[in-house]
Amino acid sequence: MNMRIPILKLHDCLLVSIQWELDDQTALQFQEDLLHKIHETSARGVVIDFTSIDFIDSFIAKVLGDVISMSKLMGAKVVITGIQPAVAITLIELGIRLEEVMTALDLEKGLEKLQRELGD
């Protein structure tokens, strides 16, 4: 039942598209996989796209916030993209703020933002 989220390499960035509802184990596995992939590829930036995700609960938000901080420790910047209106509304109502996190409307804008941040 445990599925791995694919992590793609594009130049010096990693691309992740979350395509299905995350259970706890998949989320934790992803955290580990992403950090290993950053280490392996010396990636400087990561875009995680949530376009297909229709809700994020406090556990997923915590895992996500943590993996962003962990990536930062390793020298990689993370941009979150594609957060749906319903997801943004419920996260704030739930009382979760991901304020330090870089975001963009979609994958394309996320990659542009990352390129600017990385200065090339």
Partner 1 sequence: MMDSSVKIINEWDIVAARQLGRNVAKELGFGTVDQARITTAISELARNIYLYAGQGEITIEKIESGTKKGMTIISRDAGPGIPDLRKVMEDGFSTSGGLGAGLPGVKRLMDEFSIESTPGEGTLIQSVKWLK
Please list every residue from 58 through 97 that binds partner 1, using CB under 8 A.
58-59, 61-62, 84-87, 89-90, 93-96
Q: Nearer to partner 1 by C-beta: 48 or 56?
A: 56
Would you give the binding string for partner 1 spanning residues 98-117, x where CB under 8 A is met?
Answer: --------------------
The least distance separating partner 1 from the CB of residue 20, rounded to whole angstroms, comes to 11
Residue 8 interacts with partner 1 (CB under 8 A): yes or no: no
By the 8 A CB rule, do 10 and 49 touch?
Answer: no
Q: Nearer to partner 1 by C-beta: 61 or 102?
A: 61
Sign of CA dihedral 74, 22, 50, 57: negative
Element (H, E) at 49: strand 45-49
Sign of CA dihedral 57, 35, 49, 117: positive
